[in-house]
Amino acid sequence: MAGQLKEVRNRIKSVQSTQQITKAMKMVSAAKLRRAQDAILQMRPYASKLQEMLSNIVSNAEGGSSISLAEVRPVKKALLIVITSDRGLCGAYNANIQKRALSTIQERYADLASTGNLTIWAIGKKGAEFFQKRGYTVDTRFRDTFLQLSFGAVQTCAQAAVQAYQQKEFDAVEIVYSEFKNAASQVFVAEQFLPIPKNEPVKGKSQKADFIFEPEKDQLIAELMPKILNTQLFKAVLDGNASEHGARMTAMDKASENANELLKSLKISYNRARQAAITTELTEIVSGAAALQG
């Protein structure tokens, strides 16, 4: 009986220690989430408007070397930029991104993957490890971009993707990431990066936009396109960063609640075992006293 009580006491101490860690991690993630949320909410309208403007320009352009990044060609080689986190303990965040990436591969690039013509650029250690274990062609040179979380690092990755597309190393580039909604909700998306998508024509409405270009259109587009693509990828990384902290905060909150439930159960078990031990001792004392009187 004494051994059972000691075992339960040790389990209670262990759960309490774990609960302290989960509560601390929740507080840290909550603080980081506020900063990450502010960053993406400020960035999103700017990036969305730039992307809309770029799509409008591409939709109304009439060819030319400056629109090479919007050139649609048969997809013989493809690139998937997968944005995950570097650390775990954030619930199903990384697993859902990996699942979204796999479904994208199955839907659009299954043949390319089987012939080795699909390349994955992993931003984040978890994604790199996941796809390497499954035998995909993984380039890890941008793996630490998510950890650095700087525009310069993201720009390097975006420019490398643009250059590879222009040199026809890849015919299509997609980004797989988590779009931040709130602390408890993320949307896992696969977004076309290259070729630059055009706006779909609306039935009954003209898509012709009236743009005034200064300086010349070709010069302006050639300068503008890479910068907008840099911003698009940076927005995806900021979305992933906010989503990670939101997922971790939610996961640690649930873990703390589960620890509370477990502690209640263990304390009930401990009290029952202690009561049984006391009852046994009293019974032995009463029995001994009765035997002496007899």
CB 101 within 8 A of CB 57: no
The amino acid at 103: S
| 157 tagged catalytic | no
Backbone angles phi, psi at 126, to 5 degrees: -65, -40
Of 80, 90, 183, 228, the active-site residue reads 90
- Cross-strand pairs, 141: none
Tokens 């304390």 identify what position?
Answer: 267
Place of tokens 């996961």: 251
- Could you tell me which of 109, 94, 106 has the C-alpha nearest to residue 188? 94
Task: Answer yes or no: are the C-beta atoms of 40 and 242 closer than 8 Å.
Answer: yes
- How many Cβ atoms from other residues are within 10 Å of residue 182's Cβ? 12
**CB-based contact 105:80 (threshold 8 Å):** yes
Question: Which are the catalytic amino acids?
Answer: 90
